[in-house]
Structure 1
Amino acid sequence: MSTRNSGSPRFTGFPLGLLHFLEELSRYNNRKWFEANRDRYERDVREPALAYIAAMEAPLKKISPHFTAVPKKVGGSLMRLHRDVRFSNNKLPYKTNVGIQFRHEAGKDIHSPGLYFHIAPDEVFIAVGIWHPDGDTLRAIRETIDEYPGDWRKARDAKPFRQRFELAGDTLQRPPRGYGIDHPDVEDLKRKDHIAVAKLDHDVLFDGTLVNTTTDNFRAASKYMRFLCEAVGVDY
């Protein structure tokens, strides 16, 4: 899936077998089927995903040197396929999507500032921001929005960003404690997630320009990501 060009990885697109594998996994989500199709997973899913991540290393550094692209089978940017079923009523063993997170270097888990790429049979999207931040992190974002409303609105409403992304995630029913319902940014203060999503067509997966497409989207979110990073005290 990748070749070398002047010493840099080049990614030419995912194979169509990626979607075929995920579609079948959604129907036969059990260990016996997976073990019988492990070679397909390696060939059509994991290897090309790692090639894509490797190809994103240099473009990401040009957007921000603090977000990491780590092409490792375990412990890198590619999220694990196995589900944690210990505390879930859903006991299916495997996720039926590919999740890739380019996490901030200061982050420890998926709740850190990050850039995310999601591939599933029914949808493909890019997401940016901080998903399910802890209480202290969420409080810091709210306080920064309240203290610097002009900077927040410039980041939130930047034209390149809003042309591609929609704000998403969970919100409170009422304003958080300490903020009135008449606050000019009350809807943003009510957010429990600070994420934004850009939907893509499936066809982009198989195109040699995928790295450029995802890079362009991440770049368009730079002001939004910079605001969130500064709000929680990390460099952008």
Structure 2
Amino acid sequence: MSVYFTRASFQFLRDLRNNNNRAWFADNKSRYEGVVRQPFLHLIADLQPALAKISTHYVADPRTQGGSMFRIHRDTRYANDKTPYKTWAGARLFHEHHRQQEAPSFYMHFEPADCFVGGGIWHPGAEALKRIRSFLANNPAAWKKATRSRSFTTHFALGGDSLIRDPRGFEVDADLLQDIKRKDFVASQRFADALACSNELKPLLIDRFKRVAPMIDYLCASLDLDF
């Protein structure tokens, strides 16, 4: 089995956190390419066959522009933090129609002492959020099956932001109140940096994508997307 990331990958990210400026990055760009970007693109490409078995409508895209891997450059236009680079590497394995409408994704994230894998939909817009909540109110049993099975709860925790008060216009049983209040519908599981640097990484990611797939499927259904 392949090893994608190494200790050098995480050392680069730590060094970038301590030297987050354009001059330092220019001097170390070849390090970034060699120990972070290229290994990550290879991992993404190698995940596509397994992802296709989970859903033929999802894509692990290893292109350097417009693919699954997030750009390292931060969008600082409206941010108080003006540091130019992300100090982590992340990728979303997206729905084939994600450019036409909002859609849930599978996700993986590599950051020193904060690696995780999961999926869902983060900060959906008002219309998509309303559709998800309506679907949840009308299909509670399927949501519970997707997110409360032992296969799911043993590995994942639901996260993201939630409303303080109950949203208006939705009626659900008491045990679904916390779910209907969610503003994000995401689940994740952390794993150690050492695992990310081992040949166990790819099997772990595939297994977790399979386990979070029922929730992704449910969210797709709420948005009238094929899974």
Q: Distance in 1 between matches of 2:92 and 2:144?
A: 26
Aligned residue for 2:88? 97
Task: From 215, 223, 227, give the equivalent of 1:232.
Answer: 223
Q: 1:223 offset after TM fit, Å?
A: 1.4
Aligned residue for 2:113? 122
State whether structure 2 residue 77 is matched by structure 1 residue 86.
yes
Aligned residue for 1:3? none
Q: 1:222 offset after TM fit, Å?
A: 1.8
Task: From 50, 66, 89, give the equivalent of 1:75.
Answer: 66
Q: Is the 8 A contact 1:99 1:116 kept in 2?
A: yes
Q: Distance in 1 between matches of 2:39 and 2:150?
A: 33
Aligned residue for 1:167? 158
Matches within 5 A, 1:196-215: 196-215=187-206
Asked which structure has the greater RCO (Cα within 8 Å, sep 6+), the reply is 2
SS in 2 for 1:101: strand
SS in 2 for 1:26: helix
Task: From 110, 130, 133, give the equivalent of 1:142.
Answer: 133
State which drifts further: 166-175 or 224-233. Answer: 224-233
Q: 1:49 offset after TM fit, Å?
A: 0.5
Structure 1: stretches of 5+ with no match in the other structure:
1-9
Q: 1:111 offset after TM fit, Å?
A: 5.6
Aligned residue for 2:211? 220
Letter in 2 for 1:135: A
Q: Distance in 1 between matches of 2:7 and 2:94?
A: 27
Aligned residue for 1:191? 182
Q: 1:11 offset after TM fit, Å?
A: 3.3
Task: From 146, 152, 159, give the equivalent of 1:155.
Answer: 146
Aligned residue for 1:176? 167
Alpha carbons of 1:178 and 1:13: their partners in 2 closer, same or farther (altered >3 Å)?
same
RMSD: 1.7
Aligned residue for 1:7? none
Q: Percent same amino acid at aligned positions?
A: 37
Q: How does the TM-score come out when normalised to structure 1?
A: 0.92
Structure 2: stretches of 5+ with no match in the other structure:
none
Aligned residue for 1:5? none
Letter in 2 for 1:211: K
